Chain A
Amino acid sequence: MVYAFLIHTLRAPQAEDTGLCRVLYSCVFGAENSPDDPRPHGAERDRLLRKEQILAVARQVESMCRLQQQASGRPLTDLLPQSSDEPVPLHEAPQGAFRLAAGDPFQEPRTVVWLGVLSLGFVLVLDAHENLLLAEGTLRLLARLLFDHLRLLVPGSNLLLRADRIEGILARFLPHGQLLFLNDQFVQGLEKEFSAAYPR
């Protein structure tokens, strides 16, 4: 199952280090049990830990994406948005996977699958030994849906104030972090349901 889904900013590889990697949206599906810490810890500290863990993952993904872009010699313009008419170039988007050892930063060992589309990084944090093919497919699907239904290619749009739509998409396509084997027709059906509930 998926432990967490997050969206963060990706800065272009050749740009100077202006600003930091920002997590734009994150959703943890069922938290890890609080660590067996003898010291009394409040809810605040646990929440702080969770946010820091997510940020750590986002930073790692950003650097992996940057390294991959540099290695494959993709030009800087790849991360800038195209016109809003063209479909999002998902099949050429950089993607990858890497492993997080136990304790670094999550208690359990986890696998991270990421996809970089036009200066946004989409990340799935999976339990170890998940079906990676399915995870990659789901991630591409989520990215496509988010770009389409949040109209992210239109200049001036953003996803920070659209949490309800993101939640609506996740509730249907990744309920409680369950990866679903959806063939094209099922996806269409769910999309219709979603569009009906959230008219553009």
Chain B
Amino acid sequence: MFSAAAESLLRQARDIQAEELDKFCSRASQLLRKEDSGPDATQALRRLFLIVAATKYSRKLEEACVDLLQSTLLRPTSPEQLQLLCAAVLRERAPCDSLHLPWDHIQDTRQLSLVASVLLAQGDRAQVSRVGQRVFRVLESRQPEGPSLRPLLPVVSKVVSLAPGSLHEDQTNLLNRRLGDWLRYAGLQQGPAPSPGGFFSAPKARQPGPITEVDGALATDFFTVLSVGQRFTEDQWLNVQAFSMLRAWLWHGSPEGPGAPDTDDRSELEGSTLSVLSAAAGRPLPPQEQLRERAFEYCQRLLEQSTRRALRKGDADLQKACLVEAVLVLGVLCRQEPSFLYRALSGLKALHARLCADPAWVRALLPTAQFFLNHGEAAAVDAEAVCQHAFARIPSEFFHSPALAFEFVQFCRDNLPLFGRNLGILRRSFPNLFKLLAWNSPPLTAEVAALLPSLVDASTAAEMLHALLDLPCLTAALDLQLRASPAVSERPLWDASVRVPSCLEAFRDPQFQALFQHLLRAKASGTVDRSAPLHQLLQPLAGCARVRQCAEAVPTLLQAFFSAVGQFADGALAGQLARLLLERSDSLYPVPGYEAQVHRVLGSQFLALCQRHPSLVVELAKELLEFVGSGSGVRGGGHVLTSVVWAIGEYLAVSWDRRCTVDQINKFFEALEALLFEVTQSRPSATLPKCPPQLIATLMTTLTKLASRSQDLIPRVSLFLSKIRTLAQGPAAGSLGCREDAAAVGRRATELLNLLKMPSVAQFVLTPSAGLSEPGYHRDTNTALPLALRTVSRLVERGAGLLPG
């Protein structure tokens, strides 16, 4: 509904031509020039805004019009609506070289703020500094009856975040003092009601009442953002704004923040000693320390206020946000002044205990854990218990909350350097982490992929590979877990349109308890269970949207996993993973399209493993023979089988591993020959699907390679290859694929046959020594095998006359 109407309006706005636009600008200028333009001018400006904003290309507006926009914005008597629209249009045109906004004479702070919004949008750091300076000039002038400072604080905050370090020290000190005062000394009486006026209004009705807490009790201490009243005074507003900008301001002003000049540790310690001494002596603290002290008290008060039971839902939500902010601010304060740590610790420990017990407050648990991670060492608090609790409980119980899942993964990523000893806890808890990923795969895939290198180590690699391959299965199991447990919220968290009574039955069946429990485990168990029976049981859920989304994420994760493992895997681990890879390639959860995607990745990764550890082929000879013989690898595009065959061809040679025997080569030869026979001679059927031509070509090449190493086999191969060539050129070439594919197969067969006529050349070409071959040998266009084959073929075909001897 919105789309259709919006679409046509946008199109109109975009299609307007230059002349029409000029006419429109003139009309708008006319309206703006009139003193009392009323709704017409507003309407015109709204259209102008749309015209400018609707297209990503710049619009040329008449200069006169732009000048008028600027002057309207600066004029103190313009109504708010017009000013807002002028500012909006000017901002939309940013960055604009011809901006001219002399604003020195403006007294109205609201107007100042509007002009600032235009200037800050230009993307010019010098301009941002100037804005900061101008705003501070207003802040410095002490006028108790002057314009409200409310609109200016957000400007200061923005300036500091865009251009840290643009303020002088005395300006910073001034704001430190003011912020401290606003945080601490806001009044505890409500704002006055607008007086109804008149002779009969009783004076008592005009008395403002006191401020209350969120649960209705009278305010027990100073005013904070969690204090409630009917109307608010100016200083109470400033209190809210001061707290809202507090964390960013503290951080930018600190020695580690980006803005402050370099100070060394000694002055930091001096500062804290000074503040302790000053407080003891009753003297006022220096501004920065004073602000910190006030901020600390404010946060402590918020912690206390968060224990109250709010009467309104909006306030309850705000309580949680305030609690999170208070913990974050305390974290910043403790980093800047270590003496705060000892004062804050007991409160935070009590808070942590309270949060663990109440699931409604779980969002505040992560910042608390963060605090203990940051400061645990300094305070001799064991962060391990906190981490244990977080990793064990949060993902299993709250995987269905997208916000919490996102925050948890961010928590892991941000704190990697801090985990230290506790990294082991994170690593062992990867199954729990995967639950978050399995349920919320679209937003979390990239994050977890970036996290994988730190998560995986030699002891968990195999288990993790199984877990990754079973990730969609985990999604299905989590779905069942939600269905089977009492409802957490009104609306079902699972897809209610999918009904799976058989799966639910299986989930509740004690026979399969152990399987499900293993899949839904929270910690790495070190054992590798077969999950194949679960694939069958959960098959009805394989088509549902969430499972499919998870399945789409798995190939990316597998790539990340293998590239991480490749960094440290030794021969033994590589062998274990390769075995696992082969084993699992035909035992995957039957999500549509999943097998093909995963096979693609597994195929290329198997090759990568063999490239790094060439002796794998000989070590895994038995498994590879089984794999080739099973014939199941042809399914799903045959990627894994193609890679296996290629790897056999490349690495089953004495030059790679001395244990390679002629007997082995012969055994492999027979198995591959049988496979090639099957795929070329039989018709495609349900059990043996259409064989991709790449596989046929690879099989032929590999057989030739093996023959070049064990030269008794050459006659057999030559015979077979000529049969295939005949087949490719004959009428029954359909089994080899389409015409081009069949022709390519025929050509390859010819090239290989020609090569085999010169056995020593064949050996050189097909089994290069280790020094010669690089990992990219078969990909390097200069030394690629097909090129070599073609060259040799041409030499042979042109006749013996060209060859020496």
- A31 contacts B158, C-beta separation under 8 Å: no
* In the assembled complex, B10 has its CB within 8 A of some CB on chain A: yes
Given contacts A70-B549, A164-B46, A178-B157, contact A183 B315 (CB under 8 A): yes
Which B residues, 55 to 85, have Cβ-Cβ distances below 8 Å to chain A?
56-58, 80-81, 84-85
* In the assembled complex, A16 has its CB within 8 A of some CB on chain B: no
- A44 contacts B58, C-beta separation under 8 Å: yes
User: Most chain-B CB neighbours within 10 Å: which of A11, A167, A198?
Assistant: A167
Alpha-carbon distance between A73 and B85 when the two chains are bound, in angstroms: 41
Residues of B within 8 A of A158 (CB): 2, 5-6, 9
- B498 contacts A160, C-beta separation under 8 Å: no
Shortest CB–CB separation between residue A198 and chain B, in angstroms? Answer: 7
- B314 contacts A183, C-beta separation under 8 Å: yes
- B314 contacts A176, C-beta separation under 8 Å: no
Interface residues in B, total, Cβ within 8 A? 100
- A119 contacts B1, C-beta separation under 8 Å: yes
Which A residues, 51 to 110, have Cβ-Cβ distances below 8 Å to chain B?
51-52, 55, 63-64, 67-68, 70-73, 75, 80-81, 92, 95-99, 101
Say which residue of A11, A96, A164 sits within 8 Å of B85 (CB atoms): A164
CB nearest to B57 among chain A residues: A48
CB nearest to B46 among chain A residues: A161
Main secondary structure of the interface of A (DSSP, over half): mixed
* In the assembled complex, B363 has its CB within 8 A of some CB on chain A: yes
- A127 contacts B161, C-beta separation under 8 Å: yes
Residues of B within 8 A of A32 (CB): 123
Say which residue of A51, A132, A180 sits within 8 Å of B240 (CB atoms): A180
Which A residues, 154 to 177, have Cβ-Cβ distances below 8 Å to chain B?
155-156, 158, 160-164, 167-168, 171, 175-177
CB nearest to A129 among chain B residues: B414
Residues of A within 8 A of B410 (CB): 99
Given contacts A24-B6, A33-B123, A164-B81, contact A178 B245 (CB under 8 A): yes
- B320 contacts A133, C-beta separation under 8 Å: yes
CB nearest to A25 among chain B residues: B53
Residues of A within 8 A of B229 (CB): 185
* In the assembled complex, B120 has its CB within 8 A of some CB on chain A: yes
- B6 contacts A184, C-beta separation under 8 Å: no
* In the assembled complex, A142 has its CB within 8 A of some CB on chain B: no
* In the assembled complex, B317 has its CB within 8 A of some CB on chain A: yes
CB nearest to B409 among chain A residues: A99
Which B residues, 144 to 160, have Cβ-Cβ distances below 8 Å to chain A?
151, 153-155, 157-158
- B232 contacts A186, C-beta separation under 8 Å: yes
Given contacts A163-B46, A181-B225, A189-B232, contact A47 B58 (CB under 8 A): yes
Residues of A within 8 A of B770 (CB): none
Alpha-carbon distance between A43 and B98 when the two chains are bound, in angstroms: 10
CB nearest to B414 among chain A residues: A129
- A81 contacts B363, C-beta separation under 8 Å: no
Shortest CB–CB separation between residue A78 and chain B, in angstroms? Answer: 11
* In the assembled complex, B24 has its CB within 8 A of some CB on chain A: no
Alpha-carbon distance between A32 and B128 when the two chains are bound, in angstroms: 11
Which B residues, 423 to 452, have Cβ-Cβ distances below 8 Å to chain A?
440, 442-443, 446-447
User: Most chain-A CB neighbours within 10 Å: which of B230, B232, B324, B403?
Assistant: B403
* In the assembled complex, A28 has its CB within 8 A of some CB on chain B: yes
Interface string of B13-52 (1 = CB under 8 A from A): 1000000000000000000000000000011011101100
Say which residue of B42, B154, B232, B403 sits within 8 Å of A95 (CB atoms): B403
Shortest CB–CB separation between residue B591 and chain A, in angstroms? Answer: 14
Say which residue of A46, A161, A179 sits within 8 Å of B9 (CB atoms): A161
- A167 contacts B85, C-beta separation under 8 Å: yes
Shortest CB–CB separation between residue B37 and chain A, in angstroms? Answer: 14
- B491 contacts A92, C-beta separation under 8 Å: yes
Given contacts A29-B120, A178-B241, contact A22 B10 (CB under 8 A): yes
- B312 contacts A30, C-beta separation under 8 Å: no
- B6 contacts A22, C-beta separation under 8 Å: yes
Given contacts A72-B493, A158-B9, contact A181 B95 (CB under 8 A): no
* In the assembled complex, B226 has its CB within 8 A of some CB on chain A: yes
Shortest CB–CB separation between residue B332 and chain A, in angstroms? Answer: 11
- B123 contacts A97, C-beta separation under 8 Å: no
Given contacts A30-B128, A43-B97, contact A181 B123 (CB under 8 A): no
* In the assembled complex, B93 has its CB within 8 A of some CB on chain A: yes
User: Most chain-A CB neighbours within 10 Å: which of B47, B410, B447?
Assistant: B410
Given contacts A68-B402, A73-B498, contact A51 B56 (CB under 8 A): yes
Shortest CB–CB separation between residue B585 and chain A, in angstroms? Answer: 27
Say which residue of A9, A47, A75, A186 sits within 8 Å of B6 (CB atoms): A9
Alpha-carbon distance between A63 and B114 when the two chains are bound, in angstroms: 34
Residues of B within 8 A of A9 (CB): 2-3, 6
* In the assembled complex, B587 has its CB within 8 A of some CB on chain A: no
- A96 contacts B493, C-beta separation under 8 Å: no
- A131 contacts B3, C-beta separation under 8 Å: no
- B158 contacts A1, C-beta separation under 8 Å: yes
Residues of A within 8 A of B47 (CB): 161
* In the assembled complex, B325 has its CB within 8 A of some CB on chain A: yes
* In the assembled complex, B507 has its CB within 8 A of some CB on chain A: no
Alpha-carbon distance between A143 and B54 when the two chains are bound, in angstroms: 21
* In the assembled complex, B639 has its CB within 8 A of some CB on chain A: no
Say which residue of B1, B85, B228 sits within 8 Å of A185 (CB atoms): B228
- A80 contacts B161, C-beta separation under 8 Å: no
Which B residues, 693 to 726, have Cβ-Cβ distances below 8 Å to chain A?
none
Shortest CB–CB separation between residue B546 and chain A, in angstroms? Answer: 4
Alpha-carbon distance between A64 and B68 when the two chains are bound, in angstroms: 42
- B240 contacts A186, C-beta separation under 8 Å: yes
- A160 contacts B228, C-beta separation under 8 Å: no
Shortest CB–CB separation between residue B110 and chain A, in angstroms? Answer: 8
- Interface residues of chain B, those whose CB is within 8 Å of chain A, are 1-3, 5-7, 9-10, 13, 42-43, 45-47, 49-50, 53, 56-58, 80-81, 84-85, 87-88, 91, 93-97, 113-114, 116-117, 120-125, 128, 151, 153-155, 157-158, 161-162, 214, 225-232, 240-241, 243-245, 248, 312, 314-315, 317-318, 320-322, 324-325, 328, 363, 402-403, 406-407, 410, 414, 440, 442-443, 446-447, 491, 493-498, 544-546, 549
11 A-B Cβ contacts within 8 A? A1-B157, A1-B248, A30-B128, A52-B56, A71-B549, A73-B498, A129-B414, A161-B43, A162-B46, A163-B46, A176-B158
- Interface residues of chain A, those whose CB is within 8 Å of chain B, are 1, 9, 11, 19, 22, 24-34, 43-44, 46-48, 51-52, 55, 63-64, 67-68, 70-73, 75, 80-81, 92, 95-99, 101, 118-120, 127, 129, 131-134, 136-137, 155-156, 158, 160-164, 167-168, 171, 175-187, 189, 197-198
Apart from A119-B2, A182-B225: 19 A-B pairs, beta carbons within 8 A: A9-B2, A24-B2, A27-B88, A30-B161, A43-B96, A48-B56, A68-B402, A73-B544, A98-B442, A99-B406, A99-B447, A101-B446, A134-B321, A163-B50, A163-B85, A163-B88, A178-B245, A181-B243, A183-B315
